[in-house]
């Protein structure tokens, strides 16, 4: 068959193609090519910045280079807090495909249930999920050896606290992001944290780094912090405090130890406490640094300041005799009593036996403004200048509002409030010949200049009163310390309950200095709500003072100033409160 016959026999081949069709096809192809060229030019020239940014969003990542958090050291260089490597495990859920045996083994290593691990891997966010933060290095190594697709590790740091619950309220702790949450960790978080670095990289869809982009900014490690705390004194004080709280079935307790020469805080212990490394099921009561955050009426510990002020004003001398019989007196319809009637007492004996009546008779010779100024000068009603979270100022009302009965009760510690830390610092005036010492939580090596509050002669006279209060016939013979002379004042105060005072709830405390001739330390002890029969400060707090003083002075290298011999301690003389 001829070719011409084939063309003529096929209608499609026989029909003539319109000339415009080929031109249309060619034009469309040219237009498409032009559009592609224009789009390419727009992407690469006009909109380059936008598309570059979109590409970076999808593949470029800024990796944080963590700074190593600074260590917290005690005054002797022993570690109170440090950071150790702690790998964290993360996953890209959409890439994970584990066999049942692998899932079970991984869950066991992570300390999770199989259901919890499955829930994490089944989250809607298919590109990133934390499985476990800050594991032990050996555990992380076992996980790495399993070589599971989609499971990755990132090196982080975890804080370790060698002193545990003994120093917990001082040191505090950090969260999983290594940010301070309590104590020194929070107060000095900026210094300890340092500055993180960064590294700009390109990653593939599996999270693997393909290449670095730009310059790397190295991290700056946090600086170490050396505290004034002596970890050995801290531990011993905590240990004795814990024993006393448990023995007397008390609610809580606190101890403060100050260096009278340098103003350093050598110990700041509280019980109940907690372990900074194990913080599950914690309560607010465990977290509070009660020595700094809790206030209470200081009771008879205020009496030495009244005696000192009266001597400053020339109203009395240590041997001035005051009639305290019949052991009670009435002011404005309210009756003030002594635990036992004493009759005639010298000012020395008023402090020794803690007579309310004798103290009030001295105080009522003073002007309210004079008492208020003395209390203010030694730090009551003012927030201590220590960089610590939760520090409180206590309460000291303006003297213009005082009624006579309020002036009377404030002389023996009712009607105002203070923290144990404030009371300890206030007693530094008796250890420093009338100077109030500035306090610090950081290590200091030099004696600091104090602020003159009273004449050195009068401060020494009160120091003698504090000394005889710990001897036979005083309220705190149990404060005596083997090898060292001591002086101090007991306090026992009813606890406030509602608008009044609870009949059978007390706080017992003792604050004093040692050694007497050349005072080196101030120690304050508070036992909250003892309920095992004894509640006087001389019974529940003075023994803790005694043992803490002995251990602290030994640690500081202070030579004994008394012959070491067995002590015979008679029953504590009840104090008036």
Q: How far is CA 149 from CA 93, 94, 152, 206, 555, in A?
A: 10, 10, 8, 9, 57
Handedness of CA 494, 479, 473, 322 (dihedral sign): negative
Q: How far apart (Å, rounded) are the C-alpha atoms in residues 30 and 536?
A: 103
Closest CA to 467 of 458, 480, 453, 482: 480
Closest CA to 415 of 391, 399, 427: 399
Q: How far is CA 518 from CA 379, 430, 512, in A?
A: 23, 11, 13
Tokens matching residue 171: 């040191």
Closest CA to 528 of 354, 357, 288, 336: 288
User: Is 300 a residue of the active site?
Assistant: yes
Cβ distance 493 to 416 under 8 Å?
no
Catalytic residue among 300, 355, 417, 576: 300
Cα three-residue angle 264-270-274, rounded to 5 degrees: 120
Cβ distance 72 to 225 under 8 Å?
yes
Handedness of CA 279, 282, 284, 285 (dihedral sign): negative
Q: How far is CA 330 from CA 115, 280, 350, 500, in A?
A: 73, 53, 18, 19
DSSP 66-102: PPPPPPEE-TTS-EEEEEEEEEEEEE-GGG----HHH
For residue 202, with 0-12 CB atoms within 10 Å meaning exposed, 13-18 middle and 19 or more buried, which class applies? middle
Q: How far apart (Å, rounded) are the C-alpha atoms in residues 509 and 271?
A: 15
User: Count of residues for the chain?
Assistant: 577
Active-site amino acid positions: 300
């Amino acid at each position: 068959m001829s070719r011409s016959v084939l063309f003529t026999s096929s209608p499609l081949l026989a029909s003539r193609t319109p000339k415009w069709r080929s031109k249309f096809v060619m034009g469309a192809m040219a237009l498409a090519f032009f559009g592609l060229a224009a789009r390419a030019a727009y992407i690469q020239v006009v909109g380059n910045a936008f598309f570059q940014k979109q590409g970076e969003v999808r593949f470029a990542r800024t990796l944080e280079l963590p700074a190593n958090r600074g260590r917290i050291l005690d005054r002797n260089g022993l570690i109170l807090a440090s950071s150790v490597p702690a790998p964290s495990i993360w996953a890209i859920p959409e890439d994970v495909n584990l066999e049942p045996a692998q899932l079970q083994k991984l869950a066991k290593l992570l300390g999770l249930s199989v259901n919890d691990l499955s829930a994490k891997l089944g989250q809607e966010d298919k590109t990133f999920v934390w499985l476990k933060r800050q594991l032990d290095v050996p555990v992380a190594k076992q996980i790495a050896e399993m070589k599971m697709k989609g499971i990755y590790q990132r090196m982080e740091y975890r804080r370790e606290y060698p002193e545990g619950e003994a120093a917990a309220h001082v040191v505090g702790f950090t969260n999983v992001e290594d940010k301070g949450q309590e104590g020194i960790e929070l107060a000095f978080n900026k210094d300890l944290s340092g500055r993180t670095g960064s590294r700009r990289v390109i990653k593939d869809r599996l999270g693997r780094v393909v290449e670095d982009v730009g310059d790397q900014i190295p991290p700056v490690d946090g600086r170490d912090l050396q505290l004034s705390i002596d970890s050995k004194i801290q531990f011993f004080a905590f240990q004795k405090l814990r024993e006393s709280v448990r023995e007397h079935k008390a609610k809580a307790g606190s101890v403060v130890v100050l260096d009278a020469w340098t103003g350093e805080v050598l110990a700041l212990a509280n019980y109940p406490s907690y372990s900074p490394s194990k913080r599950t099921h914690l309560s607010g009561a465990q977290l509070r640094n009660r020595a700094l955050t809790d206030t209470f009426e200081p009771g008879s510990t205020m009496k030495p300041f009244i005696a000192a002020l009266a001597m400053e004003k020339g109203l009395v001398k240590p041997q001035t005799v005051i009639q305290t019989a019949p052991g009670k007196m009435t002011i404005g319809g309210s009756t003030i009593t002594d635990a036992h009637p004493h009759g005639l007492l010298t000012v020395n004996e008023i402090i020794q036996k803690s007579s309310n009546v004798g103290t009030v008779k001295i105080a009522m010779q003073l002007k309210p403004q004079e008492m208020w100024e003395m209390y203010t000068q030694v730090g009551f009603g003012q927030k201590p200048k220590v960089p610590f979270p939760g520090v409180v100022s206590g309460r000291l009302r303006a003297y213009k509002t005082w009624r006579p009965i309020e002036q009377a009760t404030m002389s023996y510690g009712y009607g105002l409030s203070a923290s144990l830390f404030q009371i300890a610092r206030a007693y530094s005036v008796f250890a420093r010949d009338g100077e109030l010492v500035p306090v610090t939580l950081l290590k200091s090596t030099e004696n600091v200049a104090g602020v003159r509050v009273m004449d050195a002669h009068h401060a020494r006279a009160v120091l003698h009163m504090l000394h005889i209060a710990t001897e036979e016939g005083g309220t705190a013979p149990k404060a005596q310390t083997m090898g060292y002379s001591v002086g101090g004042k007991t306090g026992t105060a009813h606890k406030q309950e509602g608008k009044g005072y609870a009949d059978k709830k007390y706080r017992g405390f003792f604050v004093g200095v040692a050694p007497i001739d050349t005072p080196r330390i101030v120690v304050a002890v508070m036992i909250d709500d003892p309920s095992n029969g004894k509640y006087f400060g001389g019974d529940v707090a003075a023994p803790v003072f005694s043992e803490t003083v002995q251990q602290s002075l030994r640690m500081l290298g202070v030579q004994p100033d008394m012959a070491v011999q067995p002590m015979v301690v008679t029953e504590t003389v009840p104090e008036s409160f």
